[in-house]
Amino acid sequence: MLSFSRARSQGRNTRPLTGGMDYLEPKRKTNVMGRVILVVSLTALCIVMLKHAPSFTSPTAFSRSEEGVTHVLVTGGAGYIGSHAALRLLKDSYRVTIVDNLSRGNLGAVKVLQGLFPEPGRLQFIYADLGDAKAVEKIFSENAFDAVMHFAAVAYVGESTLDPLKYYHNITSNTLVVLEAVARHKVKKLIYSSTCATYGEPEKMPIVEVTPQLPINPYGKAKKMAEDMILDFSKNSDMAVMILRYFNVIGSDPEGRLGEAPKPELREHGRISGACFDAARGVIPGLQVKGTDYKTGDGTCVRDYIDVTDLVDAHVKALEKAKPKNVGIYNVGTGKGRSVKEFVEACKKATGVDIKVDFLPRRPGDYAEVYSDPAKILRDLNWSARFTNLQQSLEVAWKWQKTHPHGYASS
């Protein structure tokens, strides 16, 4: 543009002024200076904006490793089991990051934890979907995780038979996304939340860790696929892996800070404990027991009911004992089976309500009898269930239900 101005002035046959300078030179200088000022201003503005962007902020406690502090990513940490696990980790002075999309979890549970542990660098919550690979990569890039406890999953047998693709996507596919991020960022430990549903309906009881895995519903199949991926990856990895296959979870935090609060629309698929409490509170007219013709003592299904406090204790012990290049697979249960009818009677006593019970045909995907042999986890991790009184566990959970009739929204 400057050369163009000079050409135009020469075309007009202008006369030089003092010093032989073209009379348009002062204007050219003004243009140059203006442009320099503009560029400098824009550059300064960009620097200010970049400094205020998240990636340019000073490192937080979560983004750097710290000697003596173990930073654990808890996926699904707003859910029933995940929130109780986060509580135990925080009590034991771990640094915790919860990732949850709140499709099944409760933000109220996270707020309880934040209120209990408000100190900087103790707990952070990230709203994200593990099916979003870019979001997961961002989370791992911006945080220095020492371990991952992977709880996040849809987990209802009945629902899995009605919508199997949801289960394969949410459990198997999402676990792959997490595993890929764990591998890229060289996370040292992975504790995977699996299930006894991977065994299906074994011919022999109790179930041991080498019992053939022959799942009979999409939930169990999706979990087994996720296990297989983890095991295949671990063969060429230095990562320490623990796979915990647990049984039917009941109970709640003994101090009444957390409890089970499933979404209302999922009541029909939920745990038997939730259904019992709903019936006791009059939310539903009665309890429906599906299947009375199984080959068990009283015709109803037999299950191994594990208290959530015991379950998270097993996870912490697994985290402590996990060793590089090793895989530990453990059943987490009491070693004792209780029938659905026994469970209902215990629930009636715990709530003090004579719950109405309707007996219906079997539910697709259910199996007759499942209970564990917890000998291996006792031997290797020195863990055994302590809260084995069914009625007492239900009494603790019922106390939370009564004080939270609308779940965490009642807080």
- Answer whether 383's CB lies under 8 Å from 314's CB: yes
| Residue 246 annotated to the active site | no
- Residues near 230 by beta carbon (within 8 Å), at least 6 away in sequence: 175, 179, 190, 192, 241, 243
98: helix, strand or coil: strand
DSSP-derived secondary structure letter, 364: T
- Cα 331 from Cα 377, distance rounded (Å): 7
Q: Furthest-apart CA pair in the chain: how many Å?
A: 116
How is 19-64 classified by DSSP, letter by letter? GG--TTHHHHHHHHHHHHHHHHHHHHHHHHHHHTSGGGSPPPGGGS
Token pair, residue 367, equals 């199996």
- Which residue bears the tokens 């000697």? 67
- Cα 239 from Cα 188, distance rounded (Å): 5
- Cα 155 from Cα 80, distance rounded (Å): 11
**Segment holding 313, helix H or strand E:** helix 308-321
Token pair, residue 371, equals 């209970």
- Residues near 233 by beta carbon (within 8 Å), at least 6 away in sequence: 179, 183, 239
- Answer whether 371's CB lies under 8 Å from 337's CB: yes
- Cα 405 from Cα 411, distance rounded (Å): 9
Token pair, residue 64, equals 């750097």
- Which of the residues 219, 305, 367, 408 is marked catalytic? 219
75: helix, strand or coil: strand
Q: How many CA atoms lie within 13 A of 278 on its CB side?
A: 24
Residue 174 is which amino acid? N
- Answer whether 168's CB lies under 8 Å from 125's CB: no
- Catalytic residue IDs: 219
